[in-house]
């Protein structure tokens, strides 16, 4: 099976890089997005999201005529849906996945579908979403046959294939990572493999759609549970006066132990979200996964408590000092190191809470952004050098490589290190 024209629905963090990589393999790609502004930016050869080197690949693909964006779906041989699956909002929305974007996307491509087309869902989804998508398509196109009713003989092939790329390394991982491909039938999987083989160098491993959906959720839950274990250890070690960083380093010397690193909480739009899709479907069974989410969600609050304790300590040691005289510096705002993505960032949530503590000054050092988000009141974006000289309390929130090195605290300066890169007891002897 060969594909001359592929349509990617949803030109965000996953859809746009996928569209660009496919186009770089000289496949004609029609990118579809409801956001006219994003469509215009892409058609001008630029990008509306941040990902290293993506601008170069998109620019080349558009200039050479292989990538074009539009707001209205057009006929293609394969459709790749990469739209968001957020939580439902409103009083009933208790971390329940909202499939309305997938429904809208599938209903929008239904009119242009024809016999022999392939539809792949890439969006992180609860188990059963691909079958649901196939049902929406079939509902909109009763004149075509679908795999859930016609098996291997269906007119349309449908598969689930989760993305697994790491923000900041998307272009490399899109090509190199192995892919799990869950077709509704074997024929569907075969068609999807033929598509991914255009640009994937990793292995394409087939399973059914439900297992592929659960596989994606499992990968991110595995990481969340492991980070929760590290975060829980950090709370325990703090009480027991033990350096959690040294402890983990030592425990990880065991050949079968590999604990992840504690931090200020778990951010981003994947790991803090996906486990809830399992909990929401199986609330009685998914006890550990739920508790892990709660442990990680509590961590930013705990960090703010540590900052408050540091402020009290400072004021007790300096009787002439008032709360209004205290200067606090946050090092890092992004959701993880060496990127500029602030979405669901625990560091940003912590800075926001600190900005409301009534202190005299909040300084922020974030080399990856040029202006502060509006949620942080009265804060100032400054250089690391300025913050180190001026602040009474330094809070290390993100382990950006720019921050690594000796912090050299001044007399009476206090440190809250959530990543273990400045804390003397954390750094390996």
| Spatial separation of the C-alpha atoms in residues 344 and 334, rounded to whole Å | 9
Strand-pair partners of 208? 183
Q: Select 44 or 258, whichever has its Cβ closest to ligand SAJ.
A: 258
Residue (73 or 263) nearer to ligand SAJ, CB: 263
Q: Residue 50 CB, nearest distance to ligand SAJ (Å)?
A: 13
Whole-angstrom CA distances from 64 to 25, 72, 290, 297 are 11, 22, 48, 46
- Cβ(337)–Cβ(346) below 8 Å: no
Burial call 378-410: b when 16+ CB within 10 Å, e when fewer:
ebebbebeebbeebbbbbbbbbbebbeeebeee
Q: If you compute the radius of gyration of the chain from its CA atoms, what whole number of angstroms results?
A: 24
Q: How far is the CB of 271 from ligand SAJ (least distance, A)?
A: 4
Cβ neighbours around 139 below 10 Å, total = 12
Per DSSP bridges, beta strands 157-160 and 179-183 are antiparallel
CB of 178 to ligand SAJ, least distance (A): 12
| Minimal distance, residue 335 CB to ligand SAJ, in Å | 5
The distance of closest approach from Cβ of residue 318 to ligand SAJ in the complex, given in angstroms and rounded to an integer, is 33
Nearest-angstrom CA–CA distance, 12 and 88: 20
**Site residues, ligand SAJ (CB under 6 A):** 124, 163-167, 219-220, 223, 227, 260-261, 263, 266-268, 270-271, 335-336
- Residue 138 to residue 155: CA distance in whole angstroms: 11
Residues labelled as active-site residues:
216, 270
- Least spacing, CB of residue 82 vs ligand SAJ, in Å: 10
Residue 219 Cβ vs ligand SAJ, minimum distance, rounded to whole Å: 4
Cβ proximity to ligand SAJ: between 99 and 227 the closer is: 227
CB nearer ligand SAJ, residue 113 or residue 351: 351
When the beta carbons of 223 and 249 are compared against ligand SAJ, the nearer one is 223
Taking the least distance from each CB to ligand SAJ, the nearer of 61 and 271 is 271
- Cβ proximity to ligand SAJ: between 126 and 263 the closer is 263
Q: How far apart are CA 235 and CA 247, in angstroms?
A: 13
């Amino acid at each position: 099976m060969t594909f001359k024209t592929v349509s990617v629905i949803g030109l965000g963090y996953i859809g746009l890089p996928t569209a660009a990589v496919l186009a770089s393999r000289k496949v004609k790609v029609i990118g579809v997005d409801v956001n006219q502004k994003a469509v215009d930016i892409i058609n001008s050869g630029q990008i509306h999201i941040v990902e290293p080197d993506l601008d170069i690949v998109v620019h080349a693909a558009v200039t050479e005529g292989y990538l074009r964006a539009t707001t209205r779906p057009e006929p293609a041989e394969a459709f790749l849906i990469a739209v968001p699956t957020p939580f439902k909002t409103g009083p009933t929305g208790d971390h329940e996945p909202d499939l309305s974007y997938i429904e809208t996307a599938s209903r929008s491509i239904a009119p242009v579908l024809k016999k022999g087309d392939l539809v792949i869902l890439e969006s992180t989804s609860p188990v059963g979403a691909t079958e649901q998508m196939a049902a929406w398509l079939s509902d909109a196109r009763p004149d075509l046959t679908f795999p859930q009713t016609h098996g291997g003989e269906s007119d349309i092939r449908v598969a689930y294939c989760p993305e697994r790329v790491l923000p900041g390394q998307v272009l490399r991982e899109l090509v190199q990572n192995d892919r799990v491909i869950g077709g509704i039938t074997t024929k569907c999987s075969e068609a999807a493999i033929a598509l991914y083989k255009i640009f994937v160098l990793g292995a394409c491993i087939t399973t059914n759609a439900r297992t592929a959906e659960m596989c994606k959720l499992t990968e991110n839950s595995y990481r969340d549970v492991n980070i929760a274990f590290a975060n829980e250890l950090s709370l325990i070690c703090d009480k027991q006066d033990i350096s959690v960083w040294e402890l983990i380093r030592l425990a990880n010397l065991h050949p079968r132990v590999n604990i992840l690193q504690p931090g200020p909480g778990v951010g981003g739009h994947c790991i803090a979200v996906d486990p809830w899709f399992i909990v929401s479907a199986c609330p009685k069974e998914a006890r550990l996964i739920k508790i892990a989410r709660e442990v990680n969600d509590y961590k930013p609050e705990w960090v703010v408590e540590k900052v408050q304790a540091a402020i009290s300590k400072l004021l007790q040691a300096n009787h002439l000092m008032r709360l209004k005289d205290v200067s606090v510096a946050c090092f890092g705002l992004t959701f993880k190191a060496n990127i500029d993505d602030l979405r669901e960032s625990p560091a940003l949530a912590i800075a926001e809470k600190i900005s409301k503590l009534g202190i005299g000054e909040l300084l922020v050092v974030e080399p990856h952004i040029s202006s502060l988000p509006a949620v942080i009141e009265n804060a100032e974006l400054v250089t690391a050098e300025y913050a180190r000289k001026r602040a009474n309390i330094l809070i290390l929130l993100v382990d950006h490589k720019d921050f690594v090195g000796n912090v050299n605290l001044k007399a009476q300066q206090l440190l809250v290190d959530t990543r273990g890169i400045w804390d003397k007891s954390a750094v390996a002897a």
